[in-house]
Amino acid sequence: MRKLYLPILGVTLMLTSCTIGALDSSTPLPADDHFIFVIGVSPVDAKIVVDQGEIGNGIFTPDNFSPLTFGGTPDRGYILSRARGNTMQAIISIQMPRDEYGKLRLPVAPCGGVKTPVFTGAAGKVIYVGNVRYSRHGERVEPAYSSDIDSAREFLRANYPALAGRLEQGRYELLPTSLRCAVEYE
């Protein structure tokens, strides 16, 4: 039996080329009730979904009734999006680029005890969460985390100059999610 990993949210988005929640170079400073976050992502053509939710008993549960915070590919290696201040946010789905034969890969969700970065920011702030590099190992996608706020600041300076001077180091916690892990098929 093989397992097919599907996230609960974002499948349609991930199978299309739509982007939700991305900011453009004319983005102003965050409104009083929102924060802006920056996450470095590799590979640069991986499709990522970030959603808000809640933490209960050490588990992140996405809010199925709120719109996705971000869904799409990074801009030159970075996700830049906004969220309502003090809301919990997490990466809930990853779709790796096509394989060497051009075959589309299905999205995977952090599930079954796999942990994902969960973060928040105070309203009015611009925060750098960190970098995540995804690599494929058979049917699994494995993340590796690092931090390079100086490179993130250079990216902002070159592409979003109004935000560069406001960038602060944010924090994240690696937590499991409540997402269902697999649908089995023969």
pLDDT digit string, tens, across residues 147-169: 999 999 999 999 999 999 999 99
Q: Looking at per-residue confidence, does 125 or 114 come out higher?
A: 125
Q: Please tell me the pTM assigned to this model.
A: 0.83
Beta bridge partners of 115: 176
How is residue 51 written in tokens? Answer: 């959603």
Look-up of token digits 């920011």: 121
CA 61 – CA 52 distance, rounded (Å): 8
